[in-house]
Structure 1
Amino acid sequence: MASDIQFYFLLYQNIFWPQTCILINAKFLCLCEMMDPRTSAQDVMRCDLCETSVVQMHCDTCLVNLCTVCVGKHMISDESKKHEVVPFKLRKSTPLYPICTSHNKEQCIMYCKQCDIPVCSDCIESNQHLCHELSKILRVLNEKKDIIIKERNELNGTIYPTYQDIASDVQNRMSQLEMEYGDLSTAITKHGEDWHREIDKLVKKLKAEVDEMKNTQLQTLQKHLDEINKTMSDIKDEIHSLEIAIDTNDLSKLFSVTPNVQIYRNLPHKITLSLPEFIPGKIHEELCKLFGTLSPSSFTSDKNGYSMKTTQKSPEAGSSPPVKQLLDEPKTVTTIDTGYRELYRVSCLSDDEIWTRGNDSTMKLFSINQGSLLKSITTRSGNIPYNIAVTKSGDLVYTDYSDRTVNIVKNEKIEEVIRLQNWEPRGVCSISSGDLLVIMVSDDYKQTKVVRYSGSTEKQTIQFDDKGKPLYSSGLYYTYYITENRNLDICVSDSEANAVVVVNQAGKLRFRYTGHTPAPKNQLFYPQGITTDSQSHILTADHNNDCVHIIDQDGQFLHYIDCGLSQPYGLCTDTNDNLFVAQCGNRQMKKIKYLQ
């Protein structure tokens, strides 16, 4: 019993501090109370520094209990820290001692530095850590906290700002890279246009050779046909002579007739022609072979080429849209009030449903026959969409120029398809191949281009003509709309240029249409929405003259649609070639019949 008391007394004097004597071990508590009444479980808490005075203050930084006398001593003990000393009752937290892994439910109040683990009183009593350096666990906690504070300060003061500088540098390099790649693409485009000119020359030369071969073979067949027609005329004469002989009673004339049927039984030789074959050249060969050559033409004569048979019907011609004539006076079929303050865009989903866009962030789907609202979709960003279109699969596409994105609405969920850098998307359309055409303006409003996308992949850029001059005007407030014609031409209405700019599928300029005079209101041509129909007509809204221009696929003016329109903006056509006009002036959408 004496040895036990001696052990606990030494343990108390050399290791434990007063508040750590409140242990679960009943034997230890009892002995401590007999030795020093200050360690009694009923006694008040004592200062960790002087271990005498009653605790009145607490340092939240170091987790140390202090009396008022020892506060100053503690503050200057480590001036590298920002000590937060508060009244004890206002302390942020009380330390939660770890539970010993060897002795269940025992709290670890000491830390063995040799073993690098927290230990409880039972661990110390068992002599497992005899002669080991033991430290108060709160002291170890404070040391660890000092390390963490130092690392946090390094992260805040040095490392994170460095990463910010790095990120800024990467973004700058990305912007620079975007510009340099743009210059590279422009150089490639210009060089490609030089090659196109040479290829056009080769095409012209080869097509001339084709025409010459065709004419030679046609002349041969024409000569052959003339011979056959001559023989057919002789046969008819022979038939006539024989019929006269049959009808005559003059025996001398009858005996003088000698039929030549045997001659005509020998059919003429059949002329077989071989068409020239286009043989593409290989990549590594010179330019003329790179594009391709023509094999020589030839003639053969086949004696048994023809046979006695009945005439066959010629194969049916390929299907093409029926020809429709323009009405002298277009007719308004129906009018729908969309509820917008101003109406700007329309795009047909079907012959009975149409999407609209006005002066807010909501896009509305209307029933054309009933004029009722079917659905509303709000842009993800809350911005006003610039343009809307419907894809071949029936999904709604819209451009958000403020957010620099092109988005698609599938099952009423909005997905971002394209995000641009340094460019703002304006007009958009879905074309026959399933690709998207987007016309966009640079952030400095000095460049405008058309880009073809397959999904989010850029496939083609159209920006300059053969002389390297911009195809489209550029500016902050200019409007651009785009569509594809049935012949695959790309048509853009350019308000600043007061023109409709049409290029072919390869991006080569075909023509510019700059209006027709006299205009209904004698105002300057100011094109807005643009669309096409089954006849390859191009229709564009003229905002200044309250009308729609109809031109053919080669840019020739055909007709005005002028039936009481009020500031027409957006246009679209359905599968029956009905025209839908978004009127900004009265927020109404008109359905117009203009073809027979």
Structure 2
Amino acid sequence: MSNPVLHRSVTVPGDICHISCVTPDRVWIGDHDGKNIILINSEGDILHMTNVMSMRGQHTVNLTGDLIYIDRDGNIIKLSQDNRTKTTLIKKTEEWEPKCIYSSHLNGDLLVGIWSYKKGIIARYNGSGQLKQIIQHGNTGQKLYYDPIYITENNNGDVIVSDLGHHAVVVTDYEGRPRFSYSGPPSGSGLFPQGICTDALSHILVCDFITSTIHMIDRDGHFLSLILTRPQGINGPMGLSYDDKSHLLWVGLYGGEKKVRVYRYIERQDYLQSITNQSKINI
């Protein structure tokens, strides 16, 4: 669409640092002010609240609708869909500090961004918390990450990270091989990357907090457009989540507005529904 359409604007308890969609009318939001993860509906009603040190990309929703989050002690916890049962999936060690997490919609793996000894690491676990893979170095042995704060996955299995230390979006393939690094249009112009997600067409969307814009790039790292800007009501975007059922984009604002704005920016919903599963690879 030439101009995204504001679908709804929801008032929330505090500044929003992260969003994880559950259903088209229910999302978990990270309330930076209150250090809570809060389940709200599309009207902004609070349905459940979990008190944790909520910062940036520290929660996700798995394929069965369970909330998975990083608690105050750095452990990774699963909260059942009925919000009654908590299970510790991964315990924090002295060597690493988890910064962000994402549950794969392709195979249920957990992708965890870790800060350890002044370097960033991406660890892949299965849904039960067993380590499968470490992504750390590029082809020539260089460090791929410095400060991974948000993480997501594309339909082809690419691992996509907002790296605040590198001021860039860093992308590897499923095997951990570097694909590209995006640092704004023109390349290298600077980016203050925050919330990140992908959509049914494999676009990558990322919040640039400094310029209050949301960038859209293609799956190979080429800049396409600034899909949302400050004149469209985006002031201090930090949380970002794409709902693959309704094809709506949820944007959480940080900086005093205490709003979540929901946009439709892709036409042809019937076409999107038909390609959603076709575009995903089997891993």
TM-score grouping bracket, smaller chain normalisation: 0.7 to 0.9
Residues 536 and 553 of structure 1 are in contact (CA less than 8 Å); yes or no, is this contact kept in structure 2?
yes
Deviations 1:295-331 (A, max 9, x none): xxxxxxxxxxxxxxxxxxxxxxxxxxxxxxxx11112
User: Which sections of structure 2, spanning at least 5 residues, go unmatched?
Assistant: 268-283
Aligned pair partner of 2:146 in 457, 463, 473: 473
Is the aligned partner of 1:502 residue 2:171?
Answer: yes
State how far apart, in whole Å, the 2-side matches of 1:362 and 1:551 are: 31
Q: Following superposition of structure 1 onto structure 2, how do residues 175-254 of structure 1 map, counting pairs within 5 Å?
A: none
Partner of 1:555: 221
1:385/1:513 CA distance change after superposition, 3 Å: closer
Task: Quote the Cα distance in structure 1 between the aligned partners of 2:59 and 2:175.
Answer: 24
Structure 2 Cα separation of the partners of residues 461 and 385 of structure 1: 23
Deviation string 1:464-490 (CA, Å, 9 cap, x unpaired) is: 00101100124xxxx511001011100
* Counterpart in the other structure of 2:120: 448
**What's the CA shift string for 1:97-151, capped at 9, x where partnerless?**
xxxxxxxxxxxxxxxxxxxxxxxxxxxxxxxxxxxxxxxxxxxxxxxxxxxxxxx
1:579 aligned partner: 249
Q: CA deviation at 1:347?
A: 0.7
Q: Please point out which of 250, 261, 264 is paired with 1:590.
A: 261
Q: CA deviation at 1:415?
A: 1.9
Q: Provide the secondary structure at the position in 1 that maps to 2:2.
A: strand
Residues 327-476 of structure 1: pairs in structure 2 closer than 5 A: 327-340=1-14, 342-359=15-32, 360-368=34-42, 370-379=43-52, 383-384=53-54, 387-400=58-71, 402-410=72-80, 411-412=82-83, 413-421=85-93, 422-431=95-104, 432-442=106-116, 444=117, 446-454=118-126, 455-474=128-147
1:437 deviation in Å?
Answer: 0.4
| SS of 2:44 mapped into structure 1 | coil
Structure with higher RCO (Cα < 8 A, 6+ apart): 2
CA contact (8 A) 1:385 1:398 kept: no
Q: Deviations over 1:255-277 (max 9, x none)?
A: xxxxxxxxxxxxxxxxxxxxxxx
Deviation digits for residues 373-402 of structure 1 (CA, Å, limit 9, x no counterpart): 2222224xxx345511100010001113x5
Return the structure number with greater helix share: 1
Q: Show the counterpart of 2:155.
A: 486
Alignment-mate amino acid for residue 125 of structure 2? Y
Q: What amino acid sits opposite 2:252 in the alignment?
A: A
Letter in 1 for 2:209: H
- The one-letter code matched in structure 2 to 1:582 is G
From 183, 205, 211, the counterpart of 1:539: 205
The answer for the alignment partner of 1:564 in structure 2 is 233
The answer to whether 1:527 aligns with 2:197 is no
Over the matched positions of the two proteins, sequence identity in percent amounts to 32
Quickly say closer, same or farther: Cα 1:558–1:385, change in 2 above 3 A: closer
Gap runs ≥5 in structure 1: 1-326
Task: Tell me what 2:276 maps to.
Answer: none
- TM-score, normalised to structure 2, is 0.86
**Separation (CA, whole Å) in 2 of partners of 1:566 and 1:385:** 19
Select the structure of larger CA radius of gyration. 1
**Over aligned residues, Cα RMSD in angstroms?**
1.8
Contact 1:532/1:539, CA 8 A, preserved across alignment:
yes
1:577 Cα deviation after fit = 2.1
CA drift at 1:362: 2.2
What TM-score does the superposition give when structure 1 sets the normalisation length? 0.41
Paired amino acid for 2:240: L
